[in-house]
Copies of this chain bind each other. A is one copy, B any other.
């Protein structure tokens, strides 16, 4: 029954009854995510932690999914923030920039595993229903696209639609990160590489792969890969 934890984050001035519960609930959710993982992230637990009754969250979130969407949005914002910090420290070494951004992504996933599980993993059913969430995710992607454009200008990678290149880059790093967070997944342990090295290897592979344009059958394929 101790309502002691609510300070951090938005230093909003609590205009009336509880203050702005909206932020308090999101913060409580983040704290629970950090301390107990996604399993402990329950609406009632969030309410308890925020010091309100179990039904109060419904005045601010239509249902649990809506809270998850807000938390996911926060996650994308933090992700963008981490990547942008690297971008802003760009000193002319483009390869280092790419490695740095990839490491930022991987580190974010590693240090916020449960947060990431909320952002992806379909806990929140659909991005479409939460415009703010979609926007935040879109901004994260935009960061990557801009890096691709920079790489093209600098001649590090071939010309082409930077969104496609960004999509591929995101896919690779996202896939790596998501495999790494599966505890005991029988891939990571067997490669003999640690996370840092694996990340570097992926980035290098990606850069080389993007150094030629991908105009359809570039590699040489008499593609008969029958699908659907």
Residues of A within 8 A of B (CB): 38-39, 86, 93, 95-96, 99-100, 103, 107, 113-114, 117, 120-122, 125-129, 134-135, 137-138, 141, 161, 163-164, 166-168, 170-176, 178-179, 181-188, 190-193, 196, 198, 200-202, 204-212, 214, 216, 218-228
Contacts and interface: CB of A to CB of B under 8 A. Distances in A.
How many identical chains are in the complex? 2
Contacts of A196: 227
A186 B204 CA distance: 26
Contact of A208 (B96, B167, B191, B208): B208
A141 B208 CA distance: 24
21 contacts: A96-B221, A99-B223, A99-B225, A107-B227, A121-B121, A126-B184, A127-B185, A129-B184, A134-B186, A164-B191, A166-B187, A167-B179, A167-B191, A171-B202, A172-B172, A174-B178, A204-B219, A205-B206, A208-B212, A209-B209, A209-B210
A212 B207 CA distance: 11
A137 B93 contact: no
A155 to B, nearest CB: 13
A79 to B, nearest CB: 13
A97 to B, nearest CB: 9
A40 to B, nearest CB: 12
B201 A187 contact: no
Contacts of A175: 170-176, 178
A211 B210 CA distance: 12
A191 B227 contact: no
A161 B204 contact: no
- Which of A186, A188, A191 has its CB near the most chain B CB atoms (within 10 A)? A186
